[in-house]
Amino acid sequence: MFVILFICSCSTTKYVPDNKYLLDNYKVKLNKRKIKEDELRSYIKPKPNKRILGFKLYLHIYNLSNRDRTNWINRSLRTIGEEPVIYDEFQVDKTRKQLELYLKNKGYYDAKIQDTVVIHKQKATVFYDIEEYLPYRIGNVSYACEDTALAVYLLRDTARSLIRRNDIFDVDVLSSERERIETLLKNRGYFRFSKEEYLFFEADSSNKAKTIDVTFIVKNFREVNQDGFIEVKPHPLYKIGKVFVHANYKSGETVTSTDELAEKYDTLESENINIIYSGSPNINSGIIVASTFLIPGNYFSQESVNITYRNLSSLDIYRLVNIIFSESDGQMDQTERKIDCNIQLTPFLSQSITLDPEVTNSSGNIGGRGNLIYQHRNLFMGAENFDFRIKGGIETQKKTNQSNFGNLIELGAETSLKIPKFFNPFGSDEFLRKYSPKTSLSLAYNFQHRPEYTRNIANVSFGYIWKGNRFLTHNVNPLELNYVMIPRMSQEFKDWIEGKYIAYSYLPHMLAVSSYNVVFSNQRIQSYQDFVYVRYTFESAGNILYSLYQMADFPMHNGVYELFNTAFAQYLRSDVDFRYYNIINQNTSLVYRFFAGAGVPYKNSTAMPFEKQYFSGGANSVRAWHVRDLGPGSYVELTPGLYPNKTADIKLEANLEYRFNLFWIMKGALFLDAGNIWAINKKDEREGAIFKFDKFYKDIAVGAGFGTRFDFSFFIFRLDLGIKIKDPVYPAGERWWFLANRKLERKDFVINIGIGYPF
């Protein structure tokens, strides 16, 4: 706090020269407010010094330095900080002209902009007062095509046009329409069609007031003939000719033609696609062929090129995929031509071993865990991704007032295999090319030793993954089997759970689960644009088995059906995770997250299995609480830490995080988290744990805090300090600490350590 106050006390105009002014702020005033203000702001230059929650942190850091540049502290402060941005009258005038040009491009040709500056204590604030007036609108839309063959495609596709009569005349929308038309024609075989060379629009505003008629002009094809003269002719159609796939291409290799490839390397032909390689083939040719949408004899399509890029990249064995086209010689007089395709694939290293360590802090129980991971990206030369990991963890459990390091031990092994095709009788190469499907198989075993019990969990699952489109990924697991045994349970623990609802969660059980998961993400890599991430999951367990047992009239044992002498769980469970990433600029962003989930046991199950219940708190949840240390509801454990009992059937969480760059590899974040978990069954005897519509909102816990992230490129180390703002374990009226007559205690501050961003 002292450091912040000290920084704040430094004058922001310390290094502003005499007779100059610090550009303190700028404001945009729109009279009609029909223009997006955020887009206008992007044209305003220069920008004032960056603010973090209204505070010019970097300028203040810069001003902490003095003029002695030989001192390393001063050099460091100036490197980390940001020198003052000076008000420049020339830049303001230039900005005004840029804004006027932008408004004209948006159809507001009569717009007027008045810029004024207010000076106060060597600080300048610039005001841009904008009067939009009425915009120009689109009148008639027509096409003038020199090539009548292209006119047929354009006129058939007018329903998808981005240009509509009476819309505001917007140059950006017209540019987008040019791109759409270019893509349309390239998907119809016109490989050499280019909007820059052959597609233009003409705007005519002479007919009606504030109305502009738009004509799209499509020029004929032009190329230099054998005599050196420019020849004008209809646009030629292109078919795919020879296709060469260089399966182990090395960056830097140069090849002038596809024929030279065939001479230089070994070649394997499969379905008219030539797989070339040096040495021995490193992949099954069938996988390459099935992933390639560029088929010899088919008309060229830009969409097929994009799908081929996606399919080959999704195999996860190539770090670089490059597709190069070359036109065959001697085709200049032909209206239908061929282009040869050279696909260059640069593989990853096929095998790797990594160690993933982690420090844990669960309800004050300090420990560590780690994974030793072996990965083979091409196990059987069919792009099969094989993953084998050995997991281990050790932790100190506080029991009463004593600690015994190592009394919580977890060991396990997990293996998974992803195969780039569907194992089913209805699969086809067409489906494989279009949706990049994968079959996933996994097998796992986990051993958990605690003072109160020993638990063994075996798991086997089988499922399918495929891309619905570039934004959607589907994952269906028709079958997942979990077998949970508890061979040892201490007498003290038995006595503690005896007669309690939680006892049902610790019975040996089997899970036969079917699940569906879909993920939507419109994030564009290396693009500073807002994006959304949504994950929805639905799973069902035991329903098919229960129906079959009923139909076969199987006998029950102790009121439940059993499989291999073990009761199987029956429940429905669903949750949704929604995230919105608001990218403010290259250095700052706001991230919103909302999570809701619920599980309902019924018929063959009285309670949700322990491993399928929700918990709250921790590095990726409500960070003012340790993992598994929040809830359920307002429940208070009588003997904290003895036998943690903080899982439940319903979970609600909301998070807000403001992220910003600090300096070097260090980044910062301010966050606000809220949420809790609740029980759904009224048999649960934990006081305050039951979800009730008329009071659940009173049990929402709220935490806030500050975090630092160290971005090492290959991984991000995260440290978050959370503070309990509202704690539902306190009586009503005392839950908000700043409203209650109580001081913050040490237990109200929690440090969470994590790898990667929390969401």
- The tokens 């840029």 sit on which residue? 98
Query: What average pLDDT does the segment 553-575 reach?
Result: 88
The pTM for the full model equals 0.78
d(CA 110, CA 272): 61
Rg (CA), the chain: 33
Report residue 253's pLDDT band, with 50, 70 and 90 as the boundaries. low
At residue 10, does pLDDT exceed 70? no
Residue 185, pLDDT score: 95
Report residue 400's pLDDT band, with 50, 70 and 90 as the boundaries. very low
80-105 pLDDT tens trace:
788 999 999 999 999 999 999 999 99
Instruction: Tell me the pLDDT of the chain averaged across its residues.
Output: 85
Report residue 7's pLDDT band, with 50, 70 and 90 as the boundaries. very low
495-537 pLDDT tens trace:
877 777 777 777 788 888 999 999 999 887 666 788 999 999 9
The one-letter amino acid at 675: G
Report residue 191's pLDDT band, with 50, 70 and 90 as the boundaries. very high
Beta bridge partners of 445: 413, 458
Query: What average pLDDT does the segment 557-568 reach?
Result: 85
Which CA distances in Å does 213 have to 152, 161, 208, 387?
21, 15, 9, 61
| Beta carbons within 8 Å of 11's beta carbon, 6+ residues apart | 63
d(CA 163, CA 174): 7
C-alpha torsion angle, residues 282, 286, 288, 291 (rounded to 10): -150
Task: State the Cα angle at 614 between 682 and 602, rounded to 5°.
Answer: 45
421-430 pLDDT tens trace:
876 555 555 6
What number of residues does the chain have?
759
- Which 8-state DSSP code applies to residue 158? G
On the question of a cis peptide bond just before residue 632, with omega within 30 degrees of 0, the verdict is yes
Query: What average pLDDT does the segment 242-252 reach?
Result: 84
Residue 266, pLDDT score: 77
Residue 256, pLDDT score: 55
Please classify residue 370 by burial: count the beta carbons closer than 10 Å to its beta carbon, then call 0-12 exposed, 13-18 middle and 19+ buried: middle
- The tokens 């839309």 sit on which residue? 141
Report residue 643's pLDDT band, with 50, 70 and 90 as the boundaries. low
Q: Phi/psi at 91 (nearest 5 deg)?
A: -65, -35
At residue 399, does pLDDT exceed 60? no
d(CA 181, CA 161): 9
Structure tokens at 171: 């140059």
d(CA 362, CA 450): 14
Residue 228, pLDDT score: 78
Do 153 and 142 contact (CB within 8 A), yes or no?
Answer: no
Do 216 and 143 contact (CB within 8 A), yes or no?
Answer: yes
Do 605 and 504 contact (CB within 8 A), yes or no?
Answer: yes
At residue 634, does pLDDT exceed 70? yes
The one-letter amino acid at 469: N
Residue 183, classed as helix, strand or coil, is: helix
Distance of CA 34 to the CA centre of its chain: 31
Task: State the Cα angle at 497 between 494 and 502, rounded to 5°.
Answer: 135
Q: Is the dihedral of CA 167, 169, 174, 175 positive or negative?
A: negative
At residue 2, does pLDDT exceed 50? no
Which CA distances in Å does 345 have to 269, 306, 320?
17, 15, 6
Structure tokens at 729: 């374990």
Residue 284, pLDDT score: 85
Do 452 and 643 contact (CB within 8 A), yes or no?
Answer: yes
d(CA 39, CA 30): 13
d(CA 707, CA 711): 13
d(CA 683, CA 606): 9
Do 321 and 311 contact (CB within 8 A), yes or no?
Answer: no
- List, as one string, the DSSP characters of 682-725: TT--STT-B--TTTGGGG-EEEEEEEEEEE-SS-EEEEEEEEEE
Structure tokens at 628: 């598994």
Residue 267, pLDDT score: 81
